[in-house]
Amino acid sequence: MPNIKQNFCPACGKNVSIDDTIGGVCIDCFIKNVDLIECRENDEIVVCKRCGAFYDAEWKNSVDEEDAVLRYVSSRIKTSNELDEQDIDLMAERMDSNRIRVNGILHGDLKGKIIEKTFSSIVHIKYTVCDSCSRISGGYYESILQIRADDRGLNNKEQTDVKKIVNDYVTRRYEDGDKRSFITKIDELDEGIDFYLGSKTVSKQICKAIKLKYGGEIQRSSKLVGVKDGKNLYRVTYSLRLFKISPGDVISFKERFIQIIKVAKDIEGIDLKSGKTVLLEGKKSNIDSIKIFGNIKKAVDTDLLSIGDKIIEVVDPYANKSVKILKPYFIDKIKDNRVRVIKTSTGLLAIPPEYYNISIKKI
């Protein structure tokens, strides 16, 4: 009885097992007559001459032109479905200012036979300006992000932090492929900072991120700027107004004197009479009830004259006379008979020594 597993190759006549045939021919003949890999010998890529992005169905970011060409060629390579395993190595070789050669090696497994096949492609670079760069150069923006503070200007730390949050977020979104994530213009004003952004979505998300860090109230407004394909086009402004208080402020709230430690969605502080931590919900009614006396950076270094059971006697640095004030909870931490105080509507308040590392005014 004949062995049905045996056969011969009609192309070369060699006896082979049926299991070792592909498309009715032996593996060697299949390799000779079939393209295991298809790659154009000459191709063209469109690259933005400003940002280096390349076009492949959509604009995509790249590290450099070599990176763009390698990714472009890789997306166009086709390999045989008969390969059980495959791996492709690509290398870019600059030929001149407008051409890059891509050399490649296909490593594969074809029914147990190890395959290695070389190929190359010369890619011609065509330069243009991508949509994103075109919008930026034309001053295009979809949204304005306004950062303000209630009844005060932004302090230096807030300005630095806000700029970093905006730049980091815009950069991250752009690198992730959002070509409208860009900053067209930044206006630094006495009352705050305005960011002109290419994306309404990015503007909204940044606004929420800054609010999460600093607290405040967000307002949204829109303006009709045109019509496209029958649809109204709006430019959106997101305005974040930070709370009027900032870390280091000494405030009064419901007959309590509080030193502000952290301002975010909620407000954290220290009760200057008891030393207990105070948490205030960052809602408008609470903020409106707060009265600010100053910041600990404006505290004054003065002499501690005597210590009683409930009060201490210090020199009032503003009136140059001795006064009695409430004995602070941190009296045991005061050294060298020196204490720092801040003036309030009801008299002087002592500042805890753990905050003495802050530059303090001396009188």
Tell me what pLDDT residue 165 has: 96
Q: How far apart are the C-alpha atoms of 12 and 218, rounded to whole Å?
A: 78
Q: What is the pLDDT of residue 8?
A: 82
Query: What is d(CA 21, CA 60) in angstroms, rounded to the nearest whole number?
Result: 42
The alpha carbon of residue 318 and the mean position of all alpha carbons in its chain are separated, in whole angstroms, by: 47
What is the reported pLDDT for 218?
94
pLDDT of residue 359: 38
163: Cβ contacts below 8 Å, ≥ 6 apart: 186, 193
For 346-358, b/e burial (b = at least 16 CB within 10 A) is eebbbbbbebbee
Global model pTM greater than 0.75: no
Report the DSSP pairing between strands 42-48 and 113-128.
parallel
CA pair distance 59, 178, nearest whole angstrom: 10
Structural contact between residues 267 and 277, judged by C-beta atoms closer than 8 angstroms: no
As averages over each run of 10 residues, the pLDDT of the chain (363 residues) reads 64 82 85 88 94 92 94 94 90 95 93 89 96 89 95 91 96 89 94 96 96 92 86 92 92 90 91 90 89 86 92 93 91 87 86 58 37
CA torsion 130-136-139-144 (nearest 10°) is 130
Structure tokens at 115: 């395959």
Domains within the chain, CATH numbers bracketed: 35-130 (2.60.40), 139-242 (no CATH), 249-362 (no CATH)
